[in-house]
Amino acid sequence: MGYLWVADRINDSVDEIDPTTNGIVATIPVGRGPEALAIGGSYVWVINAVDHSLMRIDPKTRIPGGAIALDFAPNAIAADATGVWVAGATANRVAHIDPNGALITTVPVQAGPEGLAIFSGYVWVADGTARTVERINAARAQVAGSLSVHGEPTAITASPDGSIWVTVSS
């Protein structure tokens, strides 16, 4: 069994927890306001909303890399072998960043991206304010489609069978 990784906004850190003992194995300092985590390409990635930054942590050494500056407040993240996709709800865009921390591209989205999921060459975006789910073609870095949903989508995930699951609030 692996470890549980927890973003701790109060202490500006990421905790690694052993689920068999429920004990904290390591506390790793990160930027201010860690908002969310994602695992991809052998790193644990964390977005820091207050600092407007992204950090990667090597889970073997528990050493964080330097902060990668973003020009927006990040609020959602998804990762795969190509790097990370980071959403900015107030910026209405999603940025693709490579595993070394270099910006690959940004893709404008409708309004209020709240959640991201990656599956089969697409990045799925839950746009809360727009009340839509958008599908970004990752290779082309462009929106390939949009679906209206009833309510404001706040979270999104992809299952191994290709189904996309969305949480909405009224």
What is the architecture, at CATH level 2, of domain 4-169? 7 Propeller (2.130)
- pLDDT surpasses 80 at 64: yes
Whether the Cβ atoms of residue 106 and residue 93 lie closer than 8 Å to each other: yes
Q: Tell me, yes or no, if the pTM score tops 0.75.
A: yes
For residue 13, the SS3 value is: strand
Q: Give the model confidence (pLDDT) of 91-135 as tens digits.
A: 999 999 999 889 999 999 999 999 999 999 999 999 999 999 999
Q: Which of 23, 26, 69, 27 is nearest to 47 (CA)?
A: 69
Q: Give the model confidence (pLDDT) of 72-84 as tens digits.
A: 999 999 999 889 9
Q: How are strands ordered across the β-sheet holding 132-137? A: 113-119, 122-127, 132-137, 142-148
Kindly give, in sequence order, each residue whose CB lies less than 8 Å from that of residue 110, ignoring residues fewer than 6 positions away.
92, 127, 129, 130, 132, 134, 146
Q: How far apart are CA 33 and CA 4, in angstroms?
A: 19
